[in-house]
Amino acid sequence: MDLDDLFKVFLSIKTAEGRAKSTIQQYKDNYKYFTAFLEKQNIEKSLNELNRTIFRKYITYMREEVTKFEDHKYKTETQRTKGLSPLTINTRLKTLRVMFQCLFEEEIISFNPILGVKNVPNPQENIEILTIEELRSLLKSPNKSTYAGFRDHTLMHVLIDGMSRISESIKLKESDFDFKHNTATIRASVAKNRKSRTLPLKPLTMRLVRKLIDTNSDFSTEYVFLTNYGEPISRDHFRKRLYEYADQAKIKKKVHPHLLRHSAATAFLEDGGDIRHLQMLLGHSDLRMVVRYTHLSNKALQNQHAKHSAINKVANKLSRPRKTKL
């Protein structure tokens, strides 16, 4: 019942089930965090040593002792604070839940040691999105006279226009773009849900992509978004550059690649876009996920309230001249 052996069996099952490489890597990372905790606590990596108390100690350890972004080379010292966020803690626990439940259902283990351990409460705060003016300022920030600046400018257009994930966008190849019909195809192999989808893109975005592809002719690769050395750009590389552009644009909000997708989806709804069509564009099979990723601004909420509030009809009736005399 060695945990490392059990984890290898779990990975082989999930690989056979066709889980995405990014998911498999997340399993590996989260398992590594847990076993590092066990080693620090001098707990043997054995199934028989695990129980609810151990997992709850692990939760406390993540909440109070682990340094946030400790191994992240792009984070500043002020960002490296003690204690992980509830979302991060619950994500790390999810891997352990999936692992032990899988092994239990496959009858490889006789009990599930994490069963009954609850997630950390994660209050849902209002998520700030970028306004149209902020998006416009962000797009103006890159120096388009340089290769890297023009590449970033183009990638931002694709992220905003296509509302695609950064992990999907940086893996786009020349053959994924259809310049006749102004579309880009997210291949099933790179899509988060393992289902391909086609994104309509505006002619402006397609012209930028075409120009970038022409500029890439010196490199022997089919990928579109490259570093100065011709290698596919990484999420962390682009995220760091996006931070810098946000600073240049004097945007005080925490800007990251997914915020572009989130802001574009919200703008789509606020402009009257249909939520079912948005679901298809975002690539979600569950409509509830679309609601989770879109946050209507207070201004839009006020406009809708002013237009549709029941008090409009009530007030109109009460405001009619009142007859008091014969």
Amino acid 52: pLDDT: 95
For 198, the 3-state DSSP assignment is strand
Radius of gyration of the chain (CA): 25
Cβ contact 135:265 at 8 Å: no
Per-residue model confidence (pLDDT) at position 290 = 76
Return the amino acid letter for 238.
Answer: F
Q: Token pair 């002719």 is at which residue? A: 217
Say whether pLDDT at 74 is over 60: no
pLDDT value of residue 92: 95
- In sequence order, what DSSP letters do the residues of 20-87 get, joined into one string? -HHHHHHHHHHHHHHHHHHHHTT--SBGGG--HHHHHHHHHHHHHTSBTTTT-TT--GGG--BS--HH
More confident residue, 57 or 273: 57
Distance CA 176, CA 172 (A): 6
Element (DSSP H or E) covering residue 197: strand 197-200
- CATH class of domain segment(s) 132-303: mainly alpha
Task: Give CATH for domain 3-105.
Answer: 1.10.150
Question: What are the domain boundaries of the chain?
Answer: 3-105, 132-303
Q: Which residues contact 164 (CB under 8 A, 6 or more apart)?
A: 158, 184, 186, 199, 261, 283
d(CA 300, CA 117): 40
Q: Give the pLDDT score at 78.
A: 62
Tokens of 10: 């779990």
Query: What's the whole-number mean pLDDT along residues 120-127?
Result: 74
Residue 176 Cα distances to 152, 173, 199, 203, angstroms: 19, 5, 10, 16
pLDDT at 13 over 70: yes
pLDDT at 308: 79
Residues contacting 46, CB < 8 A, separation 6+: 1, 2, 3
Provide the whole-model pTM.
Answer: 0.70
Q: What percent of the chain has pLDDT over 70?
A: 88
Tell me, what's the pLDDT at 71?
65
